[in-house]
Structure 1
Amino acid sequence: MPLFQRSATGKTRLTLTESAERALPDIRAGLDLLGIGLDRLRELTTSGILNVTVSPAFAAKWLLPRIDRFQARCPETDIRLETSLRLVDYKAHGIDVGVRYGEGSWPGLVAEKLMEEEIFPVCSPTYSDLANLTEPADLTRTTLIHDLSVDPAIGFVTWDMWLQAAGVPEGQPQRGMRIDNSAAVLQAAIEGRGVALARSILASDDLAAGRILRLFPEVKVPSKLAYYVVYRAEYSSLPKLRAFRDWLIDEATSLRS
């Protein structure tokens, strides 16, 4: 039975025959059911690619050093990692899940708090000016490394804010480097370029390895911002997404313990 007929006039084009027009609603319904069935099959497996977005610094300093443990737990899931400082449109870019740093509210997305953090100064154990840093006010006379990767307008702690919390008068000199990547900020401190204002989550491995030292630990300055696992609500039932989310939470819990 013919389903299409070719136009005899003008440009060559195909149109449905009367029989095809009658059958079209049932065909469309069948294809819709097939699509639903494939979606359900996809939800029942943890195999395939999981599209993940994080900031470059979080990838370098926290996620990548630990990702082998996720691969060991879920060897059938492959991670496709997108690193960006900008807020990626999950739907447009096909993102399944991500970790974002902020206040925990992003329109159209589910956000679960993963880790809180503290902000504090760090430097290399071999930093040339370390012996002169006996109190917080001494920081105004050394080279400071400024992190420009997060906007202070959303609550990110700057050197001005930390020094004020430490009781250092305002208006003190703050010469030094300004870098728009938190991982590079820590690397500059590791290399002895100055004193960095570190984020505890990103600095945890470098501190444990002795590559940097925390200065003035008696000064406690918690961040108003935190790390969140973020995903689209309609993807929440995907086993591979749940597996990655649960692994992130397990890793964060072990870091606190």
Structure 2
Amino acid sequence: MNRKSPVYLNALRAFEASERHGSFSGAAEELNVTAAAVGQMVRGLEEWLGMPLFHRSATGKTRLTPTENAERALPDIRAGLDRLGMGLDRLREFSTGGILNVAVSPAFAAKWLLPRIDRFQMRCPETDIRLETSLKLVDYKAHGIDIGVRYGDGTWPGLVAEKLMEEEIFPVCSPSFPDATGFAEPGDLARTTLIHDLSVDPAIGFVTWDMWLRAAGVREGQAQRGMRIDNSGAVLQAAIEGRGVALARSILARDDLAAGRLQRLFSEVLVPSKLAYYVVYRPEYSSLPKLRTFRDWLVEEAAAYQT
């Protein structure tokens, strides 16, 4: 092994991902950089090697095709990158400090995690939290995520999922909302502005207004109009500002209810969610001390929150 040779690790990752995706843009999305940056890294590697790695087609074909020499080298490159990753993971097993990459939805971050994160920082000042907030289910391996909290049915291939909190779904509005005092029965909601939460797919069991109204004994077809928002935190904020009546998720709404920013309507109608919050992480990271500490802290906070 020539240890004096330049080591183009990022360029090798860019090359390998580009071949696997068949494009610089696909590799860029995985590596969280621009397609131009991926192309530049690949060209730099080609210049250092003195040979092309992909066929440059003049026929307008968009999928990258590796050269014969590049294709022969790819198995060794992939094996080497995998071994490097395993080595880094092994080093991380002994670390109690550094950065912990955590993935959560924007609403869960704003309404539950961030108001409590100071308590974790006081317990583990040597660990820095880096939050990845997205409505999409990020690829933990591709994005370097250590642990996260997901809302769903607990089935995510390749990840350990441990139930953290269950919840209930119910309507809420601002105490100063003009129509609030006139709601005598659930059917009265049909004459006001309803705020619809589009952040979770109803196909997996997410409770919609139609579903809640049916559970409350209201006939179908009365919940089609209103405001539609693709962020559960923004749904609650719209209700706080008096924009209408929102269908709240109890975990996200609890602090706003306790502070008097929201009030619950028709508390006698109980509609539990089929979905729940889960702590999720890659099984190969289960022994990381800082991951275990953060996971245990989440469980403690969730238990205290639901008592």
Q: TM-score range by the shorter chain?
A: 0.7 to 0.9
Alignment of 1:95-114 (within 5 A): 95-114=145-164
Deviates more, 1:84-93 or 1:42-51: 42-51
Residue correspondence of structure 1 range 1-257 to structure 2 within 5 A: 39-172=89-222, 174-257=224-307
Cα distance, 1:158–1:234 mapped onto 2, change above 3 Å: same
Is the Cα contact below 8 Å between 2:159 and 2:283 reproduced in 1?
yes
- Conserved? CA contact 1:101–1:226, under 8 Å: yes
Higher strand share: 1
Aligned length: 231
Runs (4+) of structure 1 exceeding 6 A deviation are none
Distance in 2 separating the partners of 1:39 and 1:156: 36
Task: Please report the TM-score for the alignment, with normalisation by the length of structure 2.
Answer: 0.71
Q: Does the CA contact (< 8 Å) of 1:137 and 1:168 recur in 2?
A: yes
Instruction: Calculate the aligned-residue CA RMSD, in Å.
Output: 2.3
Q: Return closer, same or farther for 1:173/1:236 CA change in 2, 3 Å cut-off.
A: closer
Length-normalised TM-score, structure 1? 0.85
Q: 1:144 to 1:77 in 2, by over 3 A?
A: same
Secondary structure, in 3 states, of the residue corresponding to 2:142?
A: helix
Task: Give 1:132 deviation, angstroms.
Answer: 1.1
Aligned counterparts of 1:3 and 1:160: Cα–Cα separation in 2: 65
**1:172 and 1:219 mapped to 2: Cα distance?**
17
User: Which of these two proteins has the greater Rg computed from alpha carbons?
Assistant: 1
Structure 2 residue runs of 5 or longer lacking an equivalent are 5-47, 50-82
- How far is 1:3 from its partner? 9.6
> Which residue identity lines up with residue 282 of structure 2 in the other structure?
R
| Deviation at residue 41 of structure 1 after TM alignment | 4.8
Contact 2:210 2:223 in 1 (8 A): no
Q: CA deviation at 1:94?
A: 0.5
Q: Give the structure, 1 or 2, with the largest relative contact order (CA under 8 Å, sep 6 or more).
A: 1
Percent identity reads 80
* In structure 1, distance between residues paired with 2:96 and 2:269: 45
Letter in 2 for 1:223: S
Q: 1:172 is matched by which residue type in structure 2?
A: Q
Read off the aligned partner of 1:194 and give its amino acid letter: G
